[in-house]
Amino acid sequence: MFNFVTKDLPEGRYEPIPEGRYRLRIIDAEVRGNKAGNGEYLFIEWEVIGGEHEGRNFRSYFTTEHEKSPKAVEIGLSRIRRMLEALSMDALTDPMQLKNRDLDADVKINPPSDGYDASNDIRKFIVAPEGPTLNIAASRPAARSEPMDDNIPW
């Protein structure tokens, strides 16, 4: 039977994950209009992969257009650039290209503000260092100048 009484249900307060470095997966990405109707932002929902907080989610908002705040746009676009660099992406033409991609990031806690509870956000995207270039010629054994006598009949 479908019957719920508010006082009998758990409160379900959201507590942010502790600050630190996490492996994250983008589980949702879309461009949305802001409440005032004078701008747009890129909405990203992140999921923690691995560790004690695996499966926890939080959201980020990157301003991409705003009639009254070019500084907010500049900040939003620079954050998108750093995210794309951490994802090893040169371009983004559709937010869905971000879905199910993983990256490492330093996560922070934003304090409660304007009636909203404390929440998580990205402090810094971590760009994976480029590994050493493999020198294939140097990794192969040196060619023998004389044939090997290994007693193999073929």
Number of neighbouring beta carbons within 10 Å of residue 79 = 20
Tell me the per-residue pLDDT of 97-130, one tens digit each, with 9 for 90 and over. 999 999 999 999 999 999 989 999 999 999 866 5
pTM for this one?
A: 0.76
Sign of the C-alpha dihedral computed for residues 136, 137, 138 and 142 taken in this order: positive
* pLDDT confidence of residue 129: 65
* Distance in angstroms (rounded) separating the CA atoms of residues 58 and 108: 11
Six token digits for residue 14: 């959201």
pLDDT tens digits, residue range 46-92?
999 999 999 999 999 999 999 999 999 999 999 999 999 999 999 99
Number of helices (H) and strands (E), helices first, in the chain? 2, 5
CB 118 within 8 Å of CB 111: yes
Fold for domain 14-129? Answer: OB fold (Dihydrolipoamide Acetyltransferase, E2P) (2.40.50)
* Number of neighbours of residue 58 by Cβ within 10 angstroms: 21
